[in-house]
Chains A and B, each alone.
Chain A
């Protein structure tokens, strides 16, 4: 079991992406890194994910590093938890303001399927402890 939104979890998430044939295919031309940011009553957790041609190259919880990724997806921890519980469609969450996405939106809009597969994989990390 890995605690949700921790260093251990994001490493499992990276494996889940690498094991997802749908993500590998959809993101085969994608180059760009993300930070997932969660705010739990003021306690902010930032998880870094480096994505390259359908694979997750590395992932870790940011502690002191200064990283400026191409994209930041942020939201309250309660909403991230709803995604992991499959109670909230992450794209619908983005569209209804439950999450924010910052970055080059033209790039995302040309890779919608990869983006959908990427966020859907959040729901499919085995052994997630909420």
Chain B
């Protein structure tokens, strides 16, 4: 027995109009200050007509436990029957956390776990996720990535019960993304899709989402990067990100995310850039050492990109295509290109290795790397050398 979790998905042009059809009385919007500046909060407010609503726009990049707790207190006081998470992964994850605490005030956010069934949740409010970037997948996943500022570590409270009630995948929100953000978030989506396919918990349903997501990323990411006004490319990338979110959300991410979480926690670099940088190295490591990985990568290559040849060739071609895409959209391909100095890298390498080895995603990797392999992989990601061990 296994599950596939997904919100009710509303997608395509004018998807935001769906808000007008929802029954609600009071709305609490969780977002960040950039969303206000670019007019996205106002855009959502217009759909609420004159309903009472409150905006909590204090979500920071790499949101902390404290931000969730602060937002939950305000939400509790306001008493909404609809909570909206508007923005990138940080805003949507914070929204999910606030929703959980609003409904379960006697619980701690870091105790949220997939092994407990929370009675009568949700009872007070629905949660609507509205992604404004095309990559995080946080609109459809059931984990919340938060930063424990005291320990400088990322934690991932998770429960299938915190999957959004509705996710509004409106490509209009993606139009304003600058090229670098388009590149980073697009690679995040690609990493979700491919890691979801290699994960120990992959399944038929998550595999289906992977194939279409990979196809779309290769078809549309470079187009969206080069011309932000390419509406077709924007819409398809927005859909690809959600499909990739459904893929890894229902199978789990692996080694590249452990690397991304660790670099992100220590150096505060954009998540998409970190996991995208790590992706081809991880594919190489798993292809060389994992059971059946070559075949799985070849399967992705054949189905999503119509590559032909032996498993050996197609799996290698897929990795080369990932590397070429990273280059085409000028995304970081090495740790120095993430903007990390050699001094800082050397200083933090033991901690990076430790954090990576302790990250929960590492356990889903085929095969699970040991500390020596993790540290070696970091050296390769520093130099740009392809993994050969």
Contact = CB atoms under 8 A, between A and B. Distances in A.
Interface of A: 22, 25-26, 89, 92, 94-98, 100-101, 104-106, 108-110, 112-113, 116-117
Given A26-B358, A112-B363, A113-B359, A101 B201 contact: no
B363 A96 contact: no
A113 B108 CA distance: 21
Contacts of A112: 360, 363
15 contacts: A22-B368, A26-B358, A92-B2, A94-B114, A95-B160, A97-B117, A100-B115, A105-B111, A106-B110, A106-B111, A109-B111, A109-B155, A112-B360, A113-B360, A113-B363
Interface in B97-123: 108, 110-117
A25 B2 contact: no
Contacts of A92: 2, 201
A105 B113 contact: yes
B357 interface: yes
Given A25-B371, A105-B115, A110 B110 contact: yes
A13 B368 CA distance: 22
A105 B116 contact: yes
Contact of B362 (A100, A106, A113): A113
B251 to A, nearest CB: 11
A96 B155 contact: no
Given A92-B2, A95-B114, A109-B112, 5 more contacts: A22-B368, A104-B111, A105-B113, A112-B363, A117-B363
B80 to A, nearest CB: 26
- The prevalent SS among residues of A at the interface is helix
B375 to A, nearest CB: 13
B374 to A, nearest CB: 11
B249 to A, nearest CB: 13
Contacts of A94: 114-115
Q: Return the 4 tightest CB-CB contacts between A and B, nearest first.
A: A106-B111, A112-B360, A105-B113, A106-B110
B157 interface: yes
Contact of A101 (B108, B115, B359): B115
A97 B359 CA distance: 24
Contacts of B359: 113
A13 to B, nearest CB: 19
B306 interface: no
Contact of B157 (A97, A100, A109, A113): A109
Contacts of B117: 97
Interface in B360-379: 360, 362-363, 368, 370-371
